[in-house]
Amino acid sequence: MTALEFALLLGAGICAGLVGSVAGLASLISYPALLATGVPPLTANMTNTVAMVFQGVGSVSASRPELKGQGRRVLRLAVAAALGGAAGAALLMLTPTSIFERVVPLLIGGASAALVVQRPPRELAIEGARLHPGRAHDDPRWLPVGTFAIAIYGGYFGAAAGVMMLAMLLLSTGEGLPRGNALRNVLLGLANIIAAIAFIALAPIAWSAVLPLAIGLFTGSRCGPWVVRRAPQTALRRVIGLAGIGLAIHLAIEAYG
């Protein structure tokens, strides 16, 4: 790996960590950066998953105060997240490269479009609080099933898995945005770790790309909460979503052209 490629992946990792905090679309930055350095698509996705472990570590370490009092909920949903991550990893490793290359533009395009039209997380948190006043209720019984389903997608590719998980948690638990976001970080971080372990053991990883990307992701995720508190989130989410649609079109032309 050249010094230029190292710098590219480091910068992409920082941007991806910040974007993940604002919009849950970190892979929108990190995945194409890996492609730009010459890593094949399927290997790039698996390498991205391994590097994303460090984003999860950074996000969870910055969210510890918001996790207080959620221990029982975390334990109950963690099993579903771990199983979903393992299932998503297995699905990816069984997917032929040609099919994966054709599916990725659809996944990125769909995730980006959802980001553009989705209501802001703060509005979802207000709606969740309205549906569950005082949070004097048990979590719905279907919540582990929803967690499992989203974790499968997270283990397979993951773009916007954070958006979907956060929306589900805010509307179903009645928790505020900080606590819902902290829970999202733990669950998807766990699913990502399980998938990464499977890839490390059974699949080719571009290890030279993992180091700069991981450093960048950890740094960006640690700075993310500061950016989220100050940035105009609605505008940023729309800009990121539109950029994702453009990337999806570009990848679709390459895959189907």
CA distances 8 to 42, 71, 175, Å, are 20, 39, 38
Q: Residue 219 to residues 11, 49, 211: CA-CA distances in angstroms? A: 10, 16, 12
Question: What pLDDT sits at residue 233?
Answer: 66
pLDDT surpasses 80 at 104: yes
Residue 233 CB contacts under 8 Å (≥ 6 apart), including other chains: 22, 120, 121, 122
State residue 2's pLDDT score: 92
pLDDT at residue 175 in the model? 80
Residue 23: the pLDDT is 64
Domain that holds residue 153: 3-256
Q: What's the average model confidence in pLDDT over 105-133?
A: 76
The pLDDT value given to residue 191:
95
pLDDT in tens, 163-209: 788 888 888 887 887 888 889 889 999 999 999 999 999 999 999 99
* pLDDT in the model for residue 229: 60
Confidence band of 122 (pLDDT split at 50, 70, 90): low
Residue 62 DSSP one-character state: T
HSE, CB side, 13 Å, CA atoms: give it for residue 3.
Answer: 0
Encode pLDDT of 208-232 as tens digits. Answer: 999 999 999 988 887 766 665 666 6
Indicate whether 135 pLDDT > 60. Answer: no
**Structural domain count of the chain:** 1
Residue pLDDT, tens place only, 233-254: 677 777 778 888 888 898 899 8
pLDDT digits (tens, 9 = 90+) for 13-65: 998 888 776 666 788 889 999 999 999 999 999 999 999 998 888 778 777 78
Q: Which of 113, 114, 108 is nearest to 28 (CA)?
A: 108
User: Cα(249)–Cα(243) distance, rounded to whole angstroms?
Assistant: 10
Residue-wise pLDDT for 61-81, tens only, equals: 777 788 888 888 999 999 999
What's the pLDDT at 65? 81
Residue 148: CB partners within 8 Å, gap ≥ 6? 80, 81, 83, 84, 87
